[in-house]
Chain A
Amino acid sequence: MATQIVMDQSGDTRHEFDPSNPEALARAERRFRELTGVGFTAAVRTAPGEVTRIRSFDPTAAETLFYPRLVGG
């Protein structure tokens, strides 16, 4: 199972999907495009503590984290 983690007011919302299921994969890709389309940044872990930003959907990622657009505080 793969997980898309979206930061929100509840802490985070997790969407799990089976990457071997084409329908679930398509839904996950759609979610990725929707979130990044409204300004979310997507990132994956490449090693413990090491993070890479991704700009396109990675069907092999076990976990993808999304956080909202950054603004000056």
Chain B
Amino acid sequence: MIMPFRARAPRRSRLHALRELYHRFLGENTPDARGRRLLCEWLSPEQRAQFEQHRHFDVVGCDTGKRYRIHYGTAANVHEIDAGGHASMGWCFVPSGFLVPPDVMLAQKIALETNEKAALAIANRFPPAPDGTSVFRRPFRR
């Protein structure tokens, strides 16, 4: 009676391992996970460290030298940062279409670092939240 149970145990654990692998593969292959991988590849080491720790990173505008903080999100997620590190103005501009947050953030980084004035020209301004955080947030799983 015990033997068949024992014989089945390794098969069960193999199945369990396979199921785990399958779920992990699915988790790493979602649009958001793919977007995060792409974003991390294109960030500088400092920006990547900042993003991994705080879910935001800073960029310097190529035309004005101003500092912007790009938060994880798809709208109203860019803040101009003053010398004291506080959000002084919000800028809302996004790539058209329905992109995942990391893709939106990467497009915003490239726009501010390579064509700041054009990006701000189309952006809508908004007052930042009093605590300087982004208004829009989505779950962020590592």
Contacts and interface: CB of A to CB of B under 8 A. Distances in A.
Interface residues of B, number: 38
Contacts of B96: 39, 68-71
A11 B86 CA distance: 31
B89 interface: no
Given A9-B99, A67-B107, A67-B110, A73 B93 contact: yes
A35 B26 CA distance: 29
Chain B at the A interface: mostly helix, strand, loop or mixed?
A: helix
A50 B44 contact: yes
Interface in B3-33: 30-33
A53 B107 contact: no
B122 A53 contact: no
B105 to A, nearest CB: 11
B31 A51 contact: no
A11 B33 contact: yes
B110 A10 contact: no
Nearest to B35: A11
Interface residues of A, number: 25
What's the dominant secondary structure at chain A's contact region?
Answer: strand
A5 B114 contact: no
A65 B107 CA distance: 10
A9 B103 CA distance: 9
19 contacts: A5-B38, A9-B31, A9-B97, A9-B98, A12-B34, A12-B35, A49-B43, A51-B109, A53-B114, A65-B106, A67-B106, A68-B97, A70-B96, A71-B93, A71-B94, A72-B92, A72-B93, A72-B122, A73-B92
Interface of B: 30-35, 38, 42-48, 75-76, 92-100, 103, 106-107, 109-111, 113-115, 119, 122-124
